[in-house]
């Protein structure tokens, strides 16, 4: 089973809202990732959690706040987003660093 699930599938929010994206995997992977993908562009890495600790933050604005409650779950808390943050947010997981990453279906986020 190489399934990564993400909820919600679609999210529309205003610039003053607070919302969260959720990601779950049951493959026993110890690394989890958040990516941002704009239309017709490749995914761009935002955050990496390794063994439930934040190991990489690719200079992402503080209005994005990741959280890893346990080894199977990854959240992305959103607050005071801008319209340019509208994108597909992808979660991925891998066994460990250097291993193949498996992607979820993504959350299509629209910021009004």
Partner 1 sequence: AQSVSQHNHHVILSEAASLELGCNYSYGGTVNLFWYVQYPGQHLQLLLKYFSGDPLVKGIKGFEAEFIKSKFSFNLRKPSVQWSDTAEYFCAVMPYSGAGSYQLTFGKGTKLSVIP
Residues at the interface with partner 1 (CB under 8 A): 2, 31, 33, 40-43, 45, 48, 50, 55-56, 90, 94, 97-98, 100-106
Instruction: Please give the Cα distance from 106 to 85 (Å, whole number).
Output: 14
Q: What count of other Cβ atoms lies within 10 Å of the Cβ of residue 65?
A: 15
Shortest Å distance, C-beta 108 to partner 1: 11
Q: Which is nearer to partner 1, 83 or 98 (CB)?
A: 98
Shortest Å distance, C-beta 24 to partner 1: 14
Q: Which is nearer to partner 1, 85 or 104 (CB)?
A: 104
Rg (the chain; Cα; Å)? 13
Shortest Å distance, C-beta 25 to partner 1: 13
Shortest Å distance, C-beta 21 to partner 1: 14
Q: Which is nearer to partner 1, 66 or 104 (CB)?
A: 104
Q: Which is nearer to partner 1, 91 or 111 (CB)?
A: 91
- 80 is written with which tokens? 């005071």
Phi–psi pair at 22, nearest 5 degrees: -125, 150
Compute CA 90 distance to the chain's CA centroid, rounded to the nearest angstrom. 5
Instruction: Please give the Cα distance from 92 to 66 (Å, whole number).
Output: 13
């Amino acid at each position: 089973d190489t399934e990564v699930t993400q909820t919600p599938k679609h999210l529309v929010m205003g610039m003053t809202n607070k919302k969260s994206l959720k990601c779950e995997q049951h493959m026993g992977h110890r690394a989890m990732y958040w990516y941002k993908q704009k239309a017709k562009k490749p995914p761009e890495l935002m955050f990496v959690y390794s063994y439930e600790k934040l190991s990489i933050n690719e200079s992402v604005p503080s209005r994005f706040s990741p959280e890893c409650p346990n080894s199977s779950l990854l959240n992305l808390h959103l607050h005071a987003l801008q319209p340019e943050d509208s994108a597909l947010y992808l979660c991925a997981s891998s066994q460990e660093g250097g291993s193949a990453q498996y992607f979820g279906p993504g959350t299509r986020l629209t910021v009004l």
